[in-house]
Amino acid sequence: MTGDEPFITAVKPLVDAMGGEMLPPDEAGADDVVLAWEGVDVVAVRLPQLADSLDHILAAMERKQGKPLADLDRKAKQEVVRILEARGAFSVRHGVETVAGALGVSRFTVYNYLNREKEA
């Protein structure tokens, strides 16, 4: 890979943010996404399973907050739930339970946060 490094460097933050894995294009599986630059396959991206993606999103949110999500105040936790809902976190099997565990609240509390957002 010669001229492709800038391309790989450019897409790496996006792949990392979604919890994907980069691999050589010739190792791509049927479900992987092969990215080409100027007609040449440069890199393949293996997308995460949805459940793994949710864990990755939660970890990224913790890094951004600079502390565990469970340590946030109620208003900040409500904002986290709003962001996660917008990203489809609650369409994942056990999504509510996973988020509740990360926030240190009950499933009922997460549902309350979701309902409060819909009423606003």
Which residues, at least 6 apart from 96, have a Cβ–Cβ distance to it below 8 Å? Answer: 90, 107, 110, 111
Average pLDDT score over residue span 71-84:
95
pLDDT score for 5: 85
- Residue 2: band (very low, low, confident or very high) from pLDDT cuts 50, 70, 90: very low
Which residues, at least 6 apart from 1, have a Cβ–Cβ distance to it below 8 Å? Answer: 8, 42
Which residues, at least 6 apart from 48, have a Cβ–Cβ distance to it below 8 Å? Answer: 18, 19, 20, 21, 56
For the segment 14-68, what is each residue's pLDDT rounded down to a tens digit? 888 777 899 999 999 998 999 998 899 999 999 877 667 788 889 889 999 999 9
Average pLDDT score over residue span 94-111:
95
pLDDT score for 89: 86
57 contacts 89 by C-beta, under 8 angstroms: yes
- Determine the number of helices (DSSP H) and then strands (DSSP E) in the chain: 5, 3
Percent of the chain clearing pLDDT 70 (strictly above): 92
